[in-house]
Every structure is written in C-alpha cells, then in structure tokens.
Homo-oligomer: A and B are copies of this chain.
C-alpha cells in the first residue's frame, strides 16, 4: 500500500533566495503519511477513523529544493502494530526543465487511528502483509524502539519557556541564547485541521521550522537552511479553536551547524478551563550558507548560566552521536 503526491514549489514555499523551507517539505511528508495511514486504517469494517501523527523519526535534509521544482513525495506503510502504523516516506526534487532529480529526504512517521465518532477512541489497525518474516521482525524492533523513546521525551515536556516574540537586541548581547530566542503565535484555522478537527502534524512542524529558522537567522545573520530534524513526538493533539505558541531557543552550535530546541504549547481559546498544555517538543538543526550556497561557519554561542551550559552539553552529545551514526551508515553502505 503506497501513495505518491507531487506539487510544484511556489514562492510562498521558500525563503527570499528561493530555498524551499524545511517546514514546507515536512508538511508535504505528513500529508502523504496521513493519506496512506487513514486509507489503510479504513480498509476493514468497523468504526471510520482518521490517522493522527504520533511521531516522526529523525530526518536529514540531504539536498536543497528550489522554487519551480516539483516535489515528489512517496509514502508506504512498512509496519503495522495493533494500534499504530509506520509510514516510510521518500521525497524527490525534480527540475522539470533539465530533468535532474535528487532524493532530498527520507522520513519515517508513526500514525495512530482515532475514531471519527469518538475522537478519544483509538481504533484497531488492520494487519499488513510483509515480504518476509524478517521484514516484520525488523519493523517490530523499530516499533519497540520508538515506543521506549516516546516515554523518555515525556519528561522534558514539563519545562516552561516564556514566549519571547519581540526581539530585545538592546539588552541582550549578540550570540547569547536570549538574543536569538523567538516565539510565534498562530490561531488554528479550518485549513490547518484534519477531518476530525485536530491540527495536522505537518502544520505544526511547519510552524516549528518557521520559528527555528528565525532563531537561526537571528544568530547567524545569513541565509540559513534546515539540515535535519530530530525525532518529534506528538504527545497531545491540538484541537480546533486553539492558539498555538511556538518558541525556539539555540541549544548548541558546532562550527558547521546549530541546534535549536522548539516547544509547542496549545491554549484552548474558548474552553479556558482546559488550560494551556505542551503539545510537542523537538530539535531542529540548521546550517548557514553564503550567497553561492556554500556553507559558512556558525558564530560560536555565548552561554549564560548553568541551564544553557547543560543544554549545550546535551546538544553536543546529540551532535556527536548523529555524526557517529552517519559515519557508521556510510561505512555499512560501502
């Protein structure tokens, strides 16, 4: 079971120099995943349901995409547990004039089906056929691994972060965390929502990339592009009629890239008694480019206080782990 979507990249999808935003691509990836997930979960009789994004595995942006190119997004169901499906997605960019194509992203998403009658009910997922028992075994391992990781990130979610939207560049020193910290606030509209009135995971990721991009641009003062996104867990759904606050702060910078932590808080506008809640957190990594698209060094961060120092060390560990993993993957492929 697979689906491929395609769309031309438009000016509003990209920054001023024509680079398509990472958030645009994440939104397309999630839309393809939502289609295939919802379709599969409705292939048997029983309650009608819609697939809701629960998690996105770490993804790298391998090549840039540009305005006028066609993005092809192919999604395939690769594992089904009792209550969730894994969808693997490939994104290709195509220059329709020269015919040049490039694989720009690979991603794996986990969806959970919720009943359309009662949106708190998770429905059962129909089984899928595997090419081999080994394939099912591999999928099960990925399923168990992500389940464990999801539990771990729940803890980090308690942290509070004051939204700082208006830049305070007079009192904050350049290259400090406070100097580039940013927030944006979005009122959920009908186009942001799925069939059962919850915000599409892709819409949330697009907002996250937008705020992380502002943080990176404030820090680097150059053309910055999304290099990778760490695994994102969608702990709680965001309802229609919410105000979403998305905040980002720099956590780590190597010479080549910088990491930005993003928090998404949802606030029901009408039912105030339900209270504000943390919906998502994630780490985005950005690189800085010159006018020819060549990488530029990232200005070092000026850390203030123990919290920033600790987060920097945590970020460094993630950076080194990812680097080691990339090298191992490369060797395995050779």
Which residues of A (130-165) have their CB < 8 Å from a CB of B? 163, 165
Within 8 Å CB of A5, what residues of B? Answer: 165, 184-186
- A35-43, A297-305, A311-319: which one contacts chain B? A35-43
Q: Tell yes or no: A333 within 8 A of B by CB.
A: no
A165: which of B74, B183, B191 is its contact (CB, 8 Å)? B74
CA distance A182 to B4 in the complex (A): 11
B39 touches A269 (CB 8 A): yes
A4→B97 contact, CB < 8 A: no
A62: interface (CB < 8 Å): no
In contact, B94 and A167 (Cβ under 8 angstroms): yes
Inside 8 A of A50's CB, which chain B residues have their CB?
270
Q: Which of A33-67 contact B (CB under 8 A)?
A: 34-35, 38-39, 42-43, 48-50, 67
Which chain B residues border A34 with CB–CB below 8 Å?
187
From A76-84, A210-218, A252-260, A277-285, give the one contacting chain B.
Answer: A210-218
Give the docked Cα–Cα distance between A96 and B16 (Å).
Answer: 12
- Chain A residues touching B, range: 35 or more
Residues of chain B with a CB closer than 8 A to A328's CB: none
Q: Does A12 make an interface contact (CB < 8 A)?
A: yes
B residues less than 8 Å from A4 (CB atoms): 163, 165-166, 183, 185
A-B contact list, 11 entries, CB within 8 Å: A4-B166, A8-B210, A8-B213, A10-B12, A11-B11, A16-B68, A32-B185, A34-B187, A43-B272, A72-B167, A96-B217
Give me 9 other A-B pairs in contact (C-beta within 8 A), A70-B182, A191-B191, A195-B241 excluded: A7-B184, A35-B243, A39-B267, A42-B271, A72-B166, A96-B218, A101-B169, A190-B190, A190-B193
